[in-house]
Chains A and B, each alone.
Chain A
């Protein structure tokens, strides 16, 4: 098999591109929907009175919800310039690797998100293995890293509050249904 695509993909490793803004600001309806789906009754997320008396002074988002704010729109398609991460996925598609399965997730939470927060995130591919034989067929292990910031922080700058690493298996088994990320 040609390893040309592999050399091309390696060039995109470490490229962060322009930071992206979440489509929606953090808000109570999205938080409540999440808690409903996850069956999470933690009152910090949905009980105004409890949350107001807590050290946070109000509702916070479940820390595990973070990745939700990075998800692309179903419609209409993004208009901003292609991100290196998406170029990476497009090249994988072309090389016939249509399936992605997440194998490992690692998240660190520095401070919680509150309604009204605007999340900005930087993401990039940080590692890619050579082609490996797995129980799902031949594939590459790809590690991506996300750093999340919000509008708060000193000097009008940004403060980092979440860090996330995801390891994917990418193979020819079509689990993605085409090019839908």
Chain B
């Protein structure tokens, strides 16, 4: 199997990342919570969340973080190296939601020997913007 590599030279500022959609089920949310060892009831216990007035269980922040990493390196290929991720969480993501992931290259630059891009991305769900953030990624450069 071969893996794609996105080179720094081939990226332009303003370039859009591919839009990715994910169907979020109860299983998606519970699997993410447990893989991140987050046993807070709001991420797996529907009866509990509804008893405190919330609509349903919702995605935990570690899963949003994991999806952020996935979205960014699915775009770059495995040679893209995550340096930083920061995001703000808004509308909760519930079972049955379709999550739409979009992004664009905000900045392309070098720092020392590293060839970097800043990507601004967001995940949207029917209730609004689930998260909006920025990733800093080091990319391979040609002939170096």
Interface residues of A (CB under 8 A from B): 30, 33-34, 36-44, 50, 54, 62-65, 67-68, 71, 74, 101-109, 166, 173-177, 180-181
CB distance from B117 to the nearest CB of A (A): 15
A108 with B84: in contact, given A71-B37, A102-B89, A175-B52 (CB under 8 Å)? yes
A64 with B65: in contact, given A39-B22, A74-B39, A177-B41 (CB under 8 Å)? yes
A39–B86 alpha-carbon span in the complex (Å): 20
A180–B87 alpha-carbon span in the complex (Å): 25
Report chain B residues within 8 Å CB of A176. 40-42
Judged by DSSP, the binding face of A is mixed
Report chain A residues within 8 Å CB of B40. 175-177, 180-181
* Inter-subunit contact B45/A43 (CB<8 Å): no
* Inter-subunit contact A105/B78 (CB<8 Å): no
Interface assignment of B126: CB less than 8 Å from any CB of chain A:
no
A177 with B85: in contact, given A40-B70, A68-B35, A105-B61 (CB under 8 Å)? no
* Inter-subunit contact B88/A38 (CB<8 Å): no
CB distance from B136 to the nearest CB of A (A): 9
Identify the closest chain B residue to A39 (Cβ). Answer: B70
* Inter-subunit contact B36/A68 (CB<8 Å): yes
Interface assignment of B141: CB less than 8 Å from any CB of chain A:
no
Identify the closest chain A residue to B79 (Cβ). Answer: A54
* Inter-subunit contact B84/A109 (CB<8 Å): yes
A74–B64 alpha-carbon span in the complex (Å): 22
* Inter-subunit contact A50/B3 (CB<8 Å): yes
Against A, the Cβ 8 Å flags (1 = close, 0 = not) of B30-44 are 011011111111100
A33–B51 alpha-carbon span in the complex (Å): 30
A175 with B54: in contact, given A41-B74, A50-B78 (CB under 8 Å)? yes
A110–B68 alpha-carbon span in the complex (Å): 18
* Inter-subunit contact A40/B41 (CB<8 Å): no
A64 with B42: in contact, given A38-B70, A41-B74, A175-B54 (CB under 8 Å)? no
CB distance from A32 to the nearest CB of B (A): 9
Report chain A residues within 8 Å CB of B95. none
Report chain B residues within 8 Å CB of A30. 35
Identify which of residues 54-72 in chain B touch chain A, using a CB-to-CB cut-off of 8 Å: 54, 61-70
